[in-house]
A and B are shown apart, each in its own frame.
Chain A
């Protein structure tokens, strides 16, 4: 048995320490790294669906376009994300009416099919109110429009699958499960381009269903809504048979059709129909369960952009009140005959939810977040804690703290700080562009100059933040130029070599060396210039929709090499990659090499990263989802594009858009996909999913801040997310992961002496997290520490105790922060808290040892602590402050020990177990004298709030100590006067105690000796003030 045990231990040890780094997965390596979410939430983002609990007004769910599912438990004041680990693009949320507290269904894939919409990956179910989720299938349904649950049988669920947007697909139509989602039957299918865009169940009869089918298709260059196959159907036998119900509908081709039933009268139906005859588009009403229809309204608000706004919501109590989603949202109080707009809020309304008990109260889903009205939709207020903002791009400057710049879907362009007093608040963000925002850059050396744009480069702006002046600098076509084709998300970029240089891409590369005042074209048309993909005026299908969103055959990414300004890379949305090595005089189309390496032709080049290590090296990321291809494509060249190698592996789920090469370690690469972040530490041989506080959200852009080594993610649904200082990832080696505990190298830590008064946000506003300002100690553990003691402390180089820390115990990287403070002084016991003295002094600059004891093993690591880089103080001034702080620290502790001595003797005198009357009398005298002295040393009455008594010596001494220790600079002359006063008062106190010691106490001790009573025990001073 003993042998077996020994063998097991040896084997276990080998298993733990023997793994090479390439064998480990993300959970083994990343350990305690946590993504930091900074929002912002002030502009919020697109909300696609709202669903409430049928009987608890406080429970409300929202599905979002790219930010997952959020739940409120308090009637819509605060929301929490409950779907972080899964696809964040949401089509529909449904609450089981039979089990509304627990059973929730989520259909993924947004159904408001704008150009930038993401994709879904199936249907999910929770049976505990959203704490845990299980994928229930329909993985290729792409977008789920509706989930209807039989109110008498939770196992019977009908699903409307809108299906693939960007290509043919058979996984669409109406599905049913009869076993709670284990298996699905396709009940109704039309064809490969027509999906179910709305499905509703009669609340009084679960066998009666209405389903609208929509023929539609998007390509990268066009959109088509409508056709022969769009139609509205009804089934009265639980979906077995379906009948078209068009009596009263327009003839000819139809587009998207919305359908709703009045909850209070299920004979009344409303439908909004997109018709090829626009005069016949709009609202239809049926009062006989769909047997006949009458056209009630064709106002702008009812017919605008059907692909984006096909949702009708009927008041739960009043069948005549009906709301239609739209540009502004329209509400009718006369059964759909006339409408007025909802109150002022962010435009583009996608869904409405009426409070179940009070139909004056409603929630409205928009492109700019969730709104709430308490007065029938007349005035609206935004929910301020939904950081679901949809960035297309982010960039950074080199200020301290650095700022982050970015543009958002329908929410303009902004910049805000990477940290801020009290956290990153809404008020920290400034708007620097309107419309849809995309690429935003600060001037590299004068960051008060900022560049931003709106959709399709309708305007490119240079904004002077100091002067508050905006100048439009969009390049125009010159004589002989064709029409300039700008992408919806047109590329702008600055230059690493020339701070005044700016690049803009149409089908040409435009360069300015004077911040956009004058432009020159440095390329021919670099796209395929395929004329068949340039008919955007015809885009939209039955309803024309030429917003610029389908502009194609355009340049999408431009990258100047930081090693050679003559080397410029360009990627186009129609699949070309071109490079120049002479600043634009000659361009080489290097696409062929990528196609040879496996890339399908004409796949959108989303990002090119010019390597910082070698000017012939670049990475190119391609996104095929607009061709219904959801594979990830990322290629590397080391020979200026002559040959390319794929660096993606099967580890990656979903298509990719963004990429970042680490600035220090060429094998450390970051890939942003539609479902989150992947990291490779071996140049792409193996990719590791990063999911520590990192939702599975689409990452549209990755940027690395050179000064801090932060990785900044511009997500399209969860705002900006940061991995702070990724330098430990650069140090992951076999040696590190095979050691019992391995300390990562750390930079010199500069103490932070900022002291601010915090933020101003209210409880209901999102506040982005700040990074820690402490010394970050990083170590790798090959196995989670679970058994035996593990402790961590800071000692000086002579091994004197400074502070204790709580060690991280994850498998993988662990991060422990030290605030540069030692321990607070021991303060005298009193009746109240000695608040002023509860300050731990900052340590001096110098070297310190971090000591970790793990079982019997001890691990040490030396760190270097320096004063702040921007400090104006001299070393002499710092030494003076430290010396006075130390003096006051010791004075506080000597007072504490004095009070301890007094208390010990008072206690002894009051509790002496002797009937000797002389001793008792002397004890009472001693107690009185000591109590009198104590009253002048510490507060002995009152409380910790407004009932507090007058300060005594402990409080005064604590206050001057706390003031000086807490200040960033040396004590002032008046503070030193107070220190002198305190010294005198403390000396007086000791003198008074000496008097008692030499008088009554001496006599009392003598009596004790005589009576053979033991003196009370007292800890020696060193033990009394010991901290470790």
Chain B
């Protein structure tokens, strides 16, 4: 990068495309940003990576995911025969005994797909992992770029189906949270620290799910005349308010879902005893 002490010199034109295209101002440096522009993508990448590592371990562990009355959100609903029995819990054996590996894999596809195609996460990983671009006005390292115009990235357009699936998953997790108002003997009307963890998680999950851009479009954004649909207009406005915090909700719910799972792990593995309030 040029420093302030160098005498004015005519840079020979650096070869290449992008900002070094021959018609553009001849500036050798690919970018001249002086702030810590790399911090945000680095932090994003680190955060996402940490979640991927953790969730991979937990998803394939196939253990310590149920400690009555809590079921890990990674394993809910449990759709294979090899699930731990959960009394009145979300285990419906739709998949038969042929399913050998962790039952988490069956269901994680949906929330993962939802987040993978989410408009916020797309920004996060395109910037954080793919450096496309790493930060604004910082040149990206790729020779060619076609964005989401062709396979496979054109598949990002299926986001709204994952949104529908995510709604179902959120319903199941809500059910799980209701079940968390039991004690370990399945008696109703009890509450422990885990119940609070679950409550916080489900609130964030719903907030994140409903703040989705697809949701905003479906409830009202697609309309041309709000004035003719006052109810949908109200809904659009509400979702819009949530949507403005989509990024924060994405991170908060990612963290909360991992925490909820980790809490179940601690209790199920016996490392920690769920404090009961009543």
Answer yes or no: are A and B bound together in one complex.
no
Contact surface of B with A, Cβ cutoff 8 Å: none
